[in-house]
Structure formats: C-alpha cells, structure tokens
Chain A
Amino acid sequence: MLAKRVIPCMDVKDGRVVKGVNFVNLRDAGDPIELAQRYDEERADEVIFLDITATSDDRATTVDLASRASEQLHLPYCVGGGFRSVADIRTMIAAGADKVSVNSAAVADPSLITSAAAAFGSQAILCAIDAKHVAGAGDKWEVYVHGGRKATGIDAVQWAQEAARRGAGEILLTSMDRDGSRDGFDCALTRAVARAVDIPVIASGGVGKLEHFAQGVIEGEADAVLAASVFHFGELTVRQVKEHMRAQGIPVRL
C-alpha cells in the first residue's frame, strides 16, 4: 500500500537554510544538504527546498544546491520558488531536481503548468497554492501570490482543479491562516481540495504538535504532510511523527 508521506521543508536563502536550526550534532546547521541527510536518516520520504530569494543573481546558488543534492541525497527532492518559464524549470531538472514547484508564475500564466508537465512529466511538477479563508464566506478560500502578499480573487479549490487538469502532478497546499500559528492544518481547506482533485495533495501550514500530522491525513484527507520549524528546531523528529501516524492506523514507511 502506498505510504502517506512526511515532508520536511527548508526555506533557503543564498544557499543556506534561513529558519533557525538547532541540531547539536550538525557540523554546519545552516547547510540544506546536511539537514536533508539528517531528515533522510529519520525516515523523511522526500524534502523540499524553497528558494526564498529567487532574484536572478541568486538563482545560480540554487541550481548549485540542486546539483549537490543530486550527488549527495538518496531520497527524492523538490525545489521551489522563482520559476517563471519552462527554461527556468529545465535548468533545475537538468541539475538533478526530481520535482519543481510553481506558484505565482503559474497563476499569472497557467499554461506554464501545461508546457512544463508536457516537457518533464506530471510527476515532476508540483503546483504550490497559498490559500486564505474568505471571511464570512463559509468553505471558501482565496489564492494569494507573491509570497502571500497579493490577493488574486481566484478560488483555491477551482485553481487546484485547473492545475490538475493542466498536468500538475501534486498540489502543495499552504493555509495562510494557519501558517506559523501552531494550531494545526486547516483540515477543511485540505479536505475540500483533496476531494476536488485526483492528484496527491500535500498539506502545509500550522503544525505545532504531533497530533496535527495524523489530523492532516485523517481529517484533511491529505496524501502527504509538510512541516518546517518543528523539525528544524528539533521539537519533533520525522521518526516520532511517523510512529505516531502509524499508531493512528496510517500507512507510513518506517
């Protein structure tokens, strides 16, 4: 049976993990590859490197990171942030990334998903969606772009459906309401998207404690669960999370 995945996500700036990390055993706490290797040992199913600089000057650093990762990691990894064209994506895939995630550029021009999926296969293209609940509107969420700074008026569920129809292989769904809150995933949002598409949905945003991961899968119906700071700060290990998920009857790889 296909396992539900646990995915640590690293925000990377100038080739370094920017959210603090406090693993005592890491020689260089800010090195994304070293951190990913640690997560591999803890049984992470894949990792995501999110390039949060994404200015043209810094792209070379991120391409270099993807290249080093393909030489040193033995698990699948995704690189996200700043892709504007198929040519940008081609550079990252050629450097060795298994997957890339697209966000703002795909909202601006949805055909980017179509052409990227045609060129590299659906399994290589994640569509990242940052969604925020529409106040007073029940089960309705709006897509935001540019790192959550700009509202689009686009319905998140409908956009997920269009992304899937255009060939995206997965949806990386972040709740802006929950991100950083430590209150757990927005399970209503996750479930609404998971039920609307026939591709895997990765729940993101809001994890603060162990129980939240299983909730994302059971209540949110997510195929994978993502977290950053609880792992980076060493509050929880990937292994602890998976053991807890397994105790809840969720198939995981341990």
Chain B
Amino acid sequence: MTIAVVDYHKGNLKSVERGLAAAGGDVLVTDDAAAIARADAVVLPGVGAFADAAATMEALGQAGVVRERIAAGVPFLGICLGMHLMFEEGVEGAPDEDDESSTHNARGLAVLPGVVGAMPKQDEQGLSYKVPHVGWNTVRFPGERQEGEVDGSSPLFDGIPSGTYFYFTHGFIAPSGPFVVGETAHSVTFPSAVRYGDAAFGVQFHPEKSSDAGARLLRNFVSIVKGA
C-alpha cells in the first residue's frame, strides 16, 4: 500500500515522509505523475505559495493525476498549502493578491468550491491579531459537539478529542462550507480540516509537527489507506 508524497519542488518533505513512515505507511516521495497515478494513496504537503505550487503541479503533470485519484476515491491528505490546493482558486502569489474577486487568482485542483484568501488581521470588533497565524491552536469539530468530546464522524480524527492543539503556520485560509470537519479561531473562525467524499481530507495544521496528536492523525490516515 504505497503512499505517494507529491514533490512539487518547493521545499523539504522529510518531516512529512518521516511522520507517515512512523505511522506505519509505505512512503514514496516523488514528482513523477505516473508514480502518483500508481500509488494507493496520495499526500499533498504544504510548502511554498499557492500560485507557485499550482503552476509547478500543472507543469509536471501532477495536477490532473491528483484530481483523478481523488475523484476515484483514493485516500488523500492535503496538508496546509496542500489543503488550499484542493479548492478552486487561491489569491496567494497571484497577480492581484488579497483581492478575492480578482479574475487573476491561481487555479487549484477544484475538488472543493471557493477561493482561498488572506486571513484578516482584525476581528469583527476591530481587535488586532498577529498574521501569519503561527503556533499551537485548537481544532474544534463543528456542530453540536462539545470540547473534549471525541469525534465519531470523521475517521481522520478517530480518538482525537475536539479542542486538541495542533501546530499551525499560515497566512491564508480556506473558504467555509458543508465540507468543513474541523475549525479553529484566530482573527476569524476558519476551516482547519475539510473532507471530500469518504477518503479525501485536508488539514490546515501540520500533523508532522504536532507531536503525539499529529502522530495519531497520521496513524488514522494510514489506517484509512490500509482499509481502503
């Protein structure tokens, strides 16, 4: 059961590779579209800026393959920017960055609807927040669930209570929608985990840097891969 970690030439992927391997995964870091197409699961890590990463993925023929694999129901995990790339468009690194209505936004994989935009630097009351949002913050499961309650609906968070801390480092946020399975509050409440279909997930935080909670999440993903 090979998990392909997509290398789009923007940075170091060792932590993600190591995290998945420690979780019991059989990991292959690759930039080769054919190898990604053959893998049993796909992980899209989070390094660089949206426009840059999307362009490289197109140029290497990765974008189409990843889109097809997700549509086919293959287990998928997008991390940080990798989650952003699941959406239709992103303003980060695009010619009119910060303008979400721009027609020049970079195109993502368009698995999920909407535009990834800049995180506001103030809340509704006008209080200032530090952006980029860097550090440990809690992920809450939307709906009626209370802090400390274990989420039974999303296998990615199996055994992980609502309100658990994960490590974040980002300045852009995904749009909200019915696909949100985890949310986090900073200047605004934003989606920190999303889901498409049964087996495709995106997380805004870095599980590979999130100590034991992150290790548990990666083990859950590997379990999804092995059960698929």
B126 to chain A, nearest CB (A): 14
Residues of B within 8 A of A121 (CB): 132
Q: Are B136 and A2 neighbours in the complex by a CB distance under 8 Å?
A: yes
Q: Are B132 and A75 neighbours in the complex by a CB distance under 8 Å?
A: no
Bound complex: CA of A164 vs CA of B137, how far in Å?
23
B102 within 8 A of A: no
Q: Which of A96, A223, A253 contacts B15 (CB 8 A)?
A: A96
Residues of B within 8 A of A98 (CB): 169, 209
B211 within 8 A of A: yes
Bound complex: CA of A41 vs CA of B69, how far in Å?
37
A121 to chain B, nearest CB (A): 8
Q: Are B169 and A74 neighbours in the complex by a CB distance under 8 Å?
A: no
Residues of A within 8 A of B171 (CB): 123
Residues of B within 8 A of A45 (CB): 135-136, 167
Residues of A within 8 A of B138 (CB): 1
Within 8 A of A (CB), among B123-138: 128, 130, 132-138
Bound complex: CA of A223 vs CA of B186, how far in Å?
14
Bound complex: CA of A71 vs CA of B16, how far in Å?
9
Among the interface residues B12, B185, B214, which one has the most CB atoms of the partner chain A within 10 A? B12
Interface residues in A, total, Cβ within 8 A: 30
Residues of B within 8 A of A123 (CB): 132, 134, 169, 171
Q: Are A3 and B136 neighbours in the complex by a CB distance under 8 Å?
A: yes
B210 within 8 A of A: yes
B183 to chain A, nearest CB (A): 13
Interface residues in B, total, Cβ within 8 A: 31
A199 within 8 A of B: yes
Q: Given A70-B12, A123-B169, A253-B165, do A2 and B214 touch, yes or no (CB 8 Å)?
A: no
Bound complex: CA of A71 vs CA of B12, how far in Å?
11
Residues of B within 8 A of A177 (CB): none
Residues of B within 8 A of A93 (CB): 11-12
Among the interface residues B128, B133, B137, B215, which one has the most CB atoms of the partner chain A within 10 A? B137
Residues of A within 8 A of B130 (CB): 198-200, 223
Q: Are B209 and A75 neighbours in the complex by a CB distance under 8 Å?
A: yes
B127 to chain A, nearest CB (A): 12
Bound complex: CA of A2 vs CA of B133, how far in Å?
8
- Residues of A whose CB lies within 8 Å of any CB of B are 1-3, 5, 40, 43, 45, 67, 70-72, 74-76, 93-96, 98, 121-123, 169-170, 198-200, 223-224, 253
Q: List 24 A-B contacts (CB under 8 A).
A: A1-B185, A2-B135, A2-B136, A3-B136, A5-B135, A45-B135, A45-B136, A70-B14, A70-B15, A70-B18, A71-B14, A71-B15, A71-B18, A74-B19, A74-B22, A74-B210, A75-B209, A93-B12, A96-B12, A96-B14, A223-B130, A224-B135, A253-B136, A253-B165
- Residues of B whose CB lies within 8 Å of any CB of A are 11-12, 14-15, 18-19, 22, 121, 128, 130, 132-138, 165, 167, 169, 171, 185-186, 206, 208-212, 214-215
User: 8 new A-B pairs (CB below 8 Å) besides A1-B185, A75-B210?
Assistant: A2-B137, A3-B137, A67-B14, A95-B12, A96-B15, A200-B135, A223-B135, A253-B136
